Structure 1
Amino acid sequence: MNIHAFTSFLIAPLRPQCEPGKRRYAILLSWILPLFIGGLLVSQLCLLWTPRLVLAEEPETITVTERKDYPDGLRIPQWNGSNGAFLYCGDELNKRGANYGDTLTVMNPRDYHDLRTADGLHNGSYSEYQLKALDYILYHGARGDRSESPVYGIPADWRAREVTQFAIWGLLRGDPHLITTVLPEPGMSVAAERLCRDALAYADAGGGGPEEGSAKLLVPPAGRQVLLFMTTKADAPKGQLKLKKRSSLPHTLFQENELYSLEKAVYGIFSDKDCSAKVCEILTDSAGETNAVELPEGTYYIKEITPPAGHELNLNVSTITVSSGAVSEVCCEDIPYGRHGLTIKKEDAELQSGSQGNASLKGAEFTVSYYANTNGTTEGEPQASWVFSTDEKGVAEFSEASKVGGDELPTRDGTSWLPLGTYTIQETKAPSGYTLPSNPVAVCVLSLDSAVPTWKQLSDAGIASDISSLTFKDTVKLGGIHITKQAHDPLYTDLHAPEVTQTPSLAEAEIAVINSSNHAILYQGIWIEPNTAVTTITTNDAGSAQIDGLPFGSYTLKEVKAPDGFALNTDWNPTVSVSENQVVVEAPVLVDARLCMSTELATLDNSHEAVDEKDIELIDHISYEGLTPGQEYRANVTLYPAGQDPSPENKVASAHLDFTPEKAEGTVNVPITLSNDSLPDAVTAHDEIAHNGTKVASHTDKHSKSQTVHIVKRKSSSKKETLPHTGTENFTIPVLALSGAGLLLFAFVSGRRLR
């Protein structure tokens, strides 16, 4: 049935069987209604066919214009697309790669679900996490629109492209390290792993920025590997970026100093962490601020390219996110050029290290003044000054530990940090035992030498020489010691008389001067260590001796030889300090004991008369002076008839006694026995004290009363006659007393009976 017949069939019951007036209505029902229904049916068919018509539109395609293997022998292909993009394998498990001339369809990788899986099936998909990381890799890896930019330090050639390819495979495998180890060069392996790990960190942070949406997928025909490439978003929303710069050290010497500025610092704005893709540059003004620059929203990396005057280049990279319609501000700091201070060394003028005698290198004070110029000018008032003091080693640093006065010291990370400029260093206080040097003020300049702060010292002629320390040499103070020798009065008593009454000469006493200081000294060109004799000086007739030119220190004096007729004074060992320059110090008086003795011969009961008996015991009391303690001596005693010259023929008796004195003066008693049958009326003792057989003192006065004992002859006694005793006299009184008492009792009893 054709359409006309079908329509006639539908409207036949409605055809009018009436008069001509109603015919117009019948025509309307027979023609217009079928047309209306047909239109409705056609419109419904069109609605069903429309989606198929849209999908049937020609998709975007890219043709492979080049395929070749990387030149490292791994037989890994690289592709170029007809749109100039670098193409990368996005389906490693699919071993069938796209060929030259293949036309590939562009699609969103989120819509692709035919990746080769580990079990060999084609049903895999990219996860959202992988897609974010792929955005980052393709954005920061080697790109066709940025073919001259290195990737993480790898040159912008096939190496950068292979690094990008392996970073993609490391991401898909989930092991950035393992897959990248097969790269031919160590630097490539490190770069590929870093790129992959940065991409994972980007995905962990949720993505965003200019990287988002960068990855596009190409689907080759016949089930070959899908290829990935990077595309950019058009008409991205924009924001603004502004930078503020400041010095990292707030000290006024860096802030208010013409040698330092915040102006004309140049910063680069980059789109990658390696700062290889520069977007633009910005410049700071005198306040350290830049104008706002307009940028597409996203993450950017700020790095200083040129520092301002007086500041170090800051190698740190700042990260900032630019948001649409907002001004993003980043603050950056530069470290002002400077250096730790000089080391000041204090030295003895004769030594390279250490001090002489009791002098010390500690406590020397140096005044350091600062001027804000690098041409060595020291006119006008300094901007700052400090006073530093040396330690025990004679060292002073420009530090708080050494500072004893002056202004606040600028520091960096807790240690001193001095600005560029001119410095004067002058010793203003000498340490103990030294005199201030006469050399002029040292002038030093801290300036840049090949961008390195360097200390230089200016000579009188203005010639600069590099230095790291300054040495100041001081002369030690020199003084002298004077010694006076005297004689001790000899022994005098009523009974004793000295052998020698005239005082011997005080000349020729020898005195050793011993260095008892803490350190060695220089005396007449010879270094004398502590506890070592410096020299020996000798007294004159007046007993005077002096030594000059002794360095600041302590000196012990010791008599090593006494003059003739005197005993060595071993107790005199004074220590004298030389503490003032060109001043002579008076030592304690040296008093020597004279070598002499006095004696007294007596009986045991200390009498000068002895009864003539068979054996007469006498004692010779010898008092001595001037002996040396600790030495052994012998006291010799010989008795001769009083008043007679000594000779072997008239010797009456002799004795000796060995003794060791503890002190220079003392007493020793020598016993002696007279046993001669025919003794003289008196005997006199002749005494001497000897050491090793040599006489050192004697007393031989044949008329000495104290040395004479008289011999008294014993007298005969007469006998007295007495009557014999008849009883004991001790009983006479008791007998008489009892007899009288008995008579009285008898009388009393008789009288009572008569009554």
Structure 2
Amino acid sequence: MKKLKRVLALAMAVILSVPTIVTTGMGTVPVKAAGDTVELTVSSESAKYAGYETHKMYAGGNYAYCVQPSKKTPQSGTYEKHYDVENYVSNAGDETQALQSRNLAYYCWGAPGFNASYFPSTWYDGSAMDDDKYIALSHIMLSFLVSYDEVGSMHGCNSSFKNWVYQNVLGYNANGDLVNGQATLPILCWATAPASFKVYILSTGSATQNILGYEYTPTGTVSLSKTSANTGITSGNSCYSLAGAVYGIYSDAGCSAQVTTLTTDAGGNAAAVSLNAGTYYYKELTAPAGYALDSSVQSFTVTDGQNTALSVSDTPTNDPVRISINKVDSETGDKVQGGASLENAEFTVKYYAGYYNAGNLPANATRTWVIKTLKTAGGNYMAALNNTCKVSGDDFYTNAAGTAILPLGTISIEETKAPEGYNLEGAYLQVGGVGEKITGKYVAQITQNGNLAQLKGGNTFKVSDKIKRGDFKLTKIDTDNQNRMGDIPFRVTNKATGESHIIKTDENGYYSSESSWNAHSKNTNGGGAYDGLWFSTGDGKAAVDDSLGAMPYGDYILEELSCDNNRGKILYNGEFSIRRDKVTVDIGTIENHSEPTPVITTQASDAKTQYQIIKPSADTDIVDKVTITDTMAGREYTITGTLMDKDTGEAVMVNGNPVTASQTFTSDGTKKVLDMHFNFDSSALGGKTVVVCEKLTYGDYVAATEEDMENKDQTIYFPEIHTTATDSETADHLTLADSRAVITDTVTYTNLLKGETYTLSGVLMDKDTGKELLVDGEPVTQEMAFTAGRASGTKKLKFEFDTTGLAGKSFVVYETLTLEDVEVAEHKDINDEGQTIHIPTAQTTATDDSSKINVSEAKKEVSVTDTVAYRNLVPGKEYTVRGTAVDKETGEPLTDADGNELVSTAKFTAASADGSVDVKFTFDGTAMAGRSVVFFENVYYTDKLIGVHADINDEAQTVHIPLIFTSVKDKDTDSHMSLAGSDVTLTDTVAYRNLVPGKTYTISGTLMDQRTGKAVTVNGKSVTSSADFTPDTADGETKVDFRFNTKGLDDTTVVVFEKVLYGKAEIAAHEDINDKGQTIYIPSVKTTAIDEKTATKLTLAEKDIHIVDKVAYRNLVPGETYKVTGTAIDKTTGEALKDDAGADVTATATFKAKKANGTVDVEFVFDGSTLAGKTVVMYENIYYNNKLVGVHADISDEAQI
């Protein structure tokens, strides 16, 4: 006990040197009645440390610590809570020790105040800290402080750990001496825990540990301060107060569970009340006087040990200045009379901070404003408290949004300036526009109504003023004789409203609008000399009142109207104004003067060139400069012009309408010069002359005219030209391509101005493109200048140019006539045949009449049709086509047997510009195989050459005459010999020349017997073969195979005849019966065997037998070397005889055939000692280049035995 006291004393000494953790003071141990119980849960888990451990425990859901480590761990269960901790510390009854234990417990692991920074940063062995290590150190400190049993809490721990704990955690050694004032325990035991933090002891039994648990219910306070949201209108205003605002405090957002209330004093402050820590909600239940209730719900948070200060503000109720003053005419309402205006009426509005009436208003207003009326979009005249209407005065009261408002209090409204044209006297105000008519000053209070403020009686006012009215009078006389003019009408018009009425002078030339002269109500506005006059009548306007002037305030126009009594006079037009009430304006005497007679002069020309000669076009613009003098100032005139055809005297019509122009003007009395533009399509006026006629009118009267058809200044000329182009050779519209052409264009002109010098310019146009024809990159042009001696005449232009490359083209001569660089006529019709020259072109296509293509057979009579396709001829004319056949290889014409050139002609009449004609050619082509013929064609008109097609390389003009050669071989023997009695394949290689590539041809071959000249037959049928081919080039070769059996064809010579067909037409053949290249020989072989000794077919069965077999052959190819191989055959067995070595008994002989037919001996030597009674047959084979070409192997042939 002594030791502990010393420790605590030392702790008190050192705590003064460490930072303060909390600032609420040490306080005292909270007291709570005993008898409460709590559920203790002892976990199976434990916090292990340095060789020892402590069980993890929970009391009432909070972490709990064992503070008697030397005793046994209790069981889980329900235990009584002992809040008198001082009775359970080691120094029983020591409240300081109990308070230090409570402070320490607040900052231990698992408690509300735990902060790792109060503990060592690493474990004793340098490892990182974790929850179990913080639990272990908290357990050791509480065991030390409550029971002074740190030894028990470190039972079994190693000395390193213990020393580390004493030094860094407890801060004392085992003897209780302070060793480290900055250790965890000295700091935390003197730190302050919140007052709401309570600890208790669970006494679990004499043999088991006491357990330290805690409860924590944090508390704080809340206070409120209220202000005005707009002090600008509440300060110094007794209508507003901050006292008596009541706020409800709730624990739920729905404000159904009220906890307490806060009530403000005169300063707007509510005293603090205590609340448990947590989130609360508040709203205003009662607003103070003059303020709007804020029913919104707000939240706040109470923090343990802290005061939450709420700041709120209320919006003072106010009128959002919906005050509007509608200014009206007392007679017509919203309708303004005459030239008056309801704008700019001024009202003085005064505000008083307090409630007053008209009898006790203070001498000085709090604020004063002067506002004026403005016209609205809806046509009303309104004044309002805003900056737009404000004329002068104080600043407006405004809310947070900057909108003008009126606070609670009193206002007065008074009209202090009438608008233009109205009297302030007699003005009155009506609230809402109805009810009592208040004159002078209007006073009303702005009072609170719930959350709103309103102006008693309403916010809208109507203020009525009476307009000023007057009259006028006049006298009308004739200037020339000074007589008074009666029955003269005038139109009187209000300039502002446009309202207009007719008046008339009486028989004395006098008029007055005064009701005393003619009552306003007498046939009002009837327009007669004795009818009344009244402005502003009808619905919504001022009713007729004989006691007032006829004319409301404003400016008026007085306009004399034309009538029989003032015809030829200058009519009066003037103005007067009504400005004063009940005053008559005397206009005085109005005189009439006679008016002058207008004079007009004109000058017509082209608007662009100022010439009187104009080219017809779609956009002609004639300007007639009209000068007009002696007109009446102020009078409206109309000048109307019409174009007239000089020849017919009728108006020029375009699209069924006359060509006219007009202008209307109001004269100022001086000379008037007008440009009258006649814009129209003059394309159809070529050769025409037109005259511009003008007429000046006003109303229905013609004031002046200029309609002289012989007036040259008014005359316009439209020239016209026509052209005809011809070729100098053909005298027609045809010329030859690739030559030097001379074209003459004959130009006929009409309606020129005589004596003027003109330039005629021509250019050739490509008819296909519509653009200039280019020769060597340049246009073909010509021009000439001439002086017109007459209005009509003829000129010729010649164009010389090279037509090379222009075949098939047509060109049109465009002509332009100019006067001093200004075009006055043109003829540019791309479709005009008279202006057109055609350059024909011809293309030819030559075809054989048999094959229908440009391939012919080299035969006695070859027939070819050359189709000449022509383009660009002139239809309806007769032409001649002359063709010549030309050898392509030599370029020379073909000739007949008499040496004449091979030519052909055809005459035809062209039905259209493009077409074709056939030219027939027949000639002997037997000598032309392998050559080609080109057909040249010339086209003539009369005897003039106009078209040529003579291209030696033109494939379409060319007819090819093919040539073929053949070479046949036996496929097995690769020679011109085939084996008799076998299936053979002959391949005939056909070489061709001069075919047209890309077409499909057929090679057709037949085998012929050379001896008979007839076809070879097998099984009664001729041996033939055919093959289709499509050559890529004109020269090449193709192959045809003949497959057949040569049985029975021994000693036969076969020749292959070949034909080339296109479709069914034969175009080439090779059928030479003596052509060795086309020939196949089928040899025959016969043999005669004789014994050399007996010279007979009998031999002795002896060891050495010599047999000579004479082989007779026919139809071999002479000059070639052959080999004969013989084999001895046992006739009985059909097998070859064998020698001693088991090999076949054979014999061979090689020879060179001098002729196709001959013999050769083959000698057999073999052992015949065993052949007694046997018959031996000799088989023989003939080979050429090791290929079998002849066989004799007949087992029954006696000659071979």
Question: Same fold by TM (over 0.5)?
Answer: no
TM-score (norm 2): 0.28
Higher relative contact order (CA 8 A, sep 6+): 1
Structure 1 or 2: more strand by fraction: 2
More helix per residue: 1 or 2?
1
TM-score by length of 1: 0.43
